[in-house]
Amino acid sequence: MVGRSPTPDPGVLARLDQGVELVGPGAGVGEGSFDCIWRLFGGRPEGSPEDPLEAGLKAHPEVRWVHTVSAGIDHLRPLLEGHPGVTLTTSAGVVAVPIAEFVLACLLHHCKRLAHLDELQRQRRFEAVPLRELGDLRLVLVGLGAIGNEVARRALALGAQVVAVRRRPELGGGHHGLPVVGPEGLTEACRGADALVLAAPLTGSSRGMVGEAELRLMADGSALVNVARGGLVDEPALLRALAGGPLSAAYLDAFEEEPLPDSSPLWTAPGAHLSPHVSWSSPHFAKRSTELFLDQLTRFREGLPLRNVADPAQGY
């Protein structure tokens, strides 16, 4: 196995038995024969001419399994082309709780007008401000995987009306029996919606799925929350909706280009609240990620079905 983690959980990794070898980032791609590449963090280390996964697959064509800490796999597709025999598994679900909490924090920030209250404090103005309750929201939730289900659980507990959009509506409304429509129903679902939450993978069919038609149908004073991928949203349409459409706030934790360039108009767009793709952050991240991998490793070695098997061709 080739491991790529600068911050593994030492207590959990100590349970790896003697039949497993970890080759860290400073050790190259390793020598000998390997079954698995464990990809905990993407991108190229500084000074590296190529992606570590690309290098690992090139050096070890015998690898049969790649596991990634990410839930999304759009960035892995080009690296796995030409390796049809490799099984790809993800860490879907590991960060569902912190991301769902982040979404609820955004919705509360919006309903309770915390940015406006902060501005009043800076101006030393003491005046009444009308606020909203989350229970009054009609929320459209795009994506009903682990993250979407955790968002729904929390929004429903606060009384919100939730409608889900998923690629395969025949699978139903998840753990909560939500009303559900397919992607072709997204535009109509947005009619009069108070909030639109994006928690779907980026694929060829989902790129730009939220655009002018969807945003102009939302309710006055509505909010968009994107904790998935920046490419899901038509950025020019989003900027127009913030400047003069019904949308009054956009909480963006994912962008087409990351880090977001200084020149991006999103930095100064009215009602835009930007965060540097940190909605997943949690003190439990390393432990949960490692425990999932160890369970996967046990399954792999015992010939049992792996969890979270992804299809690079489908994009999730």
41: three-class secondary structure by DSSP: coil
Instruction: For residue range 119-160, list pLDDT tens digits in order.
Output: 999 999 999 999 999 999 999 999 999 999 999 999 999 999
At 282, the amino acid letter reads S
Segment 20-45 shows an average pLDDT of 58
User: Catalytic residue numbers?
Assistant: 229, 258, 277
Q: Exposed, middle or buried: residue 10 (CB in 10 Å: 0-12, 13-18, 19+)? A: exposed
Alpha helix ranges (H) inside 123-216: 146-157, 186-189, 212-216
More confident position, 171 or 35: 171
pLDDT given at position 38: 73
CA nearest neighbour of 193 among 178, 172, 166, 215: 215
Listed range (151-155, 159-163, 182-186, 285-289) with the worst mean pLDDT = 285-289
What six digits make up the tokens of 40?
A: 């905990």
Q: Does domain 96-274 bear CATH number 3.40.50.620?
A: no
Q: Is the peptide bond before 259 cis (omega within 30 degrees of 0)?
A: yes
pLDDT class for 44, splitting at 50, 70, 90?
low
CATH number of this structure's domain 2-93+283-310: 3.40.50.720
Paired tokens of 205: 């069919």
Q: What is the arithmetic mean of pLDDT over 29-53?
A: 64
Domains 2-93+283-310 and 96-274 share a fold: yes
Amino acid at 114: L
CB 2 within 8 A of CB 56: yes
Comparing 51-55, 138-142, 228-232, which segment has the lowest mean pLDDT?
A: 51-55
Domain boundary assignment for the chain:
2-93+283-310, 96-274
pLDDT band at 162 (very low <50, low <70, confident <90, very high): very high
pLDDT on residue 30: 54
Q: What are phi and psi of 57, to 5 degrees?
A: -70, -35
* Predicted TM-score (pTM) above 0.75: yes
Contact (CB, 8 A) for 160 and 176? no
Nearest to 88 by CA among 58, 64, 52: 64
Using pLDDT thresholds of 50, 70 and 90, give the confidence band for residue 47: low
- Are 200 and 232 within 8 A, CB to CB? yes
Question: For residue 65, what are the β-bridge partners?
Answer: 36, 87
Q: In the beta sheet, which residues pair with residue 2? A: 37
> Which DSSP state fits 50?
S
Please compute the mean of the pLDDT values over residues 213-218 and round it to a whole number: 98
In three-state secondary structure terms, 100 is: helix
